[in-house]
Amino acid sequence: MLNSLKLTALSIGLVCAAQASAENLTAVTFGGANKQAQIKAFNEPFEAKTGHKIIAGEYNGEMAKVKAMVDTNSVSWHLVEVESPELSRGCDEGLFEEIDPSVAGNPDDFIEGAIQPCGVGFFVWSTVLAYNADKLASAPTGWADFWDTEKFPGKRGLRKGAKYTLEFALMADGVAPKDVYTVLATKEGQDRAFKKLDQIKPSIQWWEAGAQPPQFLASGDVVMSSAYNGRIAAVQDESNLQVVWDGGIYDFDSWAMPKGAKDQKAALEFVSFTLQPQQQKAFSENIAYGPANKKAVELLDPKLLKNMPTTPENIANQVAMNVTFWADYGEQLEQRFNAWAAR
């Protein structure tokens, strides 16, 4: 009887130890269809493999939340999904831990720019012009049409922020995609972008969460909107929402680790898992974002590639997000934008 009790106690102890060693990891992302694709491709398989529970949080990219946690030494997130300008700026400001690039494996397997000092890009996406073909008599072909309220009357959706919005305004004003950041780096170019925005300000319906543009377009609240390409592709089977690739802006979304995050070894194990070709393939099968790991591309059905932002025909007339520009000018332009939007 005594031996039996000892064995039972030992068994319970081992179970408790196993549970204690399997940390809960909080990975905060931009939500919506992107989050659901991550749960299927990353979170659930990783949980099954390791026993670590992934708690999927959401935010809208507010770096103030990360800064507040770091400044007060109360970091509750293990990983956070960030766009490249925020990754660069956050790294410079000491908001993120530096990450050993070996977590990604062979750097030659990744699209150039994916591996950064404080993070690793795990997919490529584009902000594009989207429209509901059921609601328009003719199809827009670029940002000049987006600004043409006579030919295309109705509300327009734009992300509430300077980033992307100012680039689109300059392209609508005739600036070639390759010249956008050269022009925007000048005082005259910045004034030009805001003056162009003045033209359609009464027609703008702002959005902040990536799930909103498809909803606005489907309901007819807006006739066109900037949108994340994957969010549009996710609803194309049940709608007539379409994408204009020309003039889109492509970027990486990366995993970053807030400074002072706990359980860093387990968190990096998760990051490494999400970068494996099979997991990258599974993610792109669930949402039309391009894999950061090039080895995943050859695993994908060619029919899926037509909706990826990185295929040659789709990327030809797009703009690469200029991380250095937004790291240098982002704070002042966002302040100017907020003051302009509030007027």
Q: What is the pLDDT of residue 173?
A: 98
Coil, helix or strand at residue 195: helix
Is residue 21 very low, low, confident or very high in pLDDT (cuts 50, 70, 90)? low
Which of 137-144's residues contact partners 24+ apart within 8 Å by CB, and which partners? 139/242, 139/244, 140/224, 140/244, 141/244, 141/246, 142/171, 142/172, 142/244, 142/246, 142/247, 143/168, 143/169, 143/171, 143/172, 143/247, 144/171, 144/172, 144/174
Integer Cα distance of 56 and 22 in angstroms? 16
CATH of domain 2-115+255-299: 3.40.190.10
- Give the rounded percent of residues in the chain with a pLDDT score beyond 90: 81
Integer Cα distance of 53 and 235 in angstroms? 29
Integer Cα distance of 256 and 259 in angstroms? 9
Average pLDDT over residues 281-286: 96
Is residue 237 very low, low, confident or very high in pLDDT (cuts 50, 70, 90)? confident
Coil, helix or strand at residue 280: helix
Q: What is the pLDDT of residue 5?
A: 46
Q: What is the pLDDT of residue 1?
A: 53
Average pLDDT over residues 84-97: 94
Domain locations in the chain as residue ranges: 2-115+255-299, 126-251+317-342
Average pLDDT over residues 114-143: 95
Domains 2-115+255-299 and 126-251+317-342 share a fold: yes
Coil, helix or strand at residue 294: helix
- Give the rounded percent of residues in the chain with a pLDDT score beyond 70: 94
Tokens of 202: 């009464």
More confident residue, 54 or 314: 54
Average pLDDT over residues 283-296: 93
Integer Cα distance of 216 and 131 in angstroms? 10
Average pLDDT over residues 266-271: 97
Residue 207, pLDDT above cutoff 80: yes
Residue 15, pLDDT above cutoff 50: no
Q: Is the pTM of this model over 0.85?
A: no
Mean pLDDT of the chain: 92
CATH of domain 126-251+317-342: 3.40.190.10
Distances (CA, A) of 279 to 51, 123, 271: 17, 11, 11
Integer Cα distance of 232 and 243 in angstroms? 8
The residue behind tokens 């031996």 is: 3
- At 246-262, the pLDDT tens digits run 999 999 999 999 999 99
Torsion from C-alpha of 198, 199, 202, 208, nearest 10 degrees: -60
Q: Which of 243, 340, 273 is nearest to 52 (CA)?
A: 273
Q: What is the pLDDT of residue 325?
A: 94
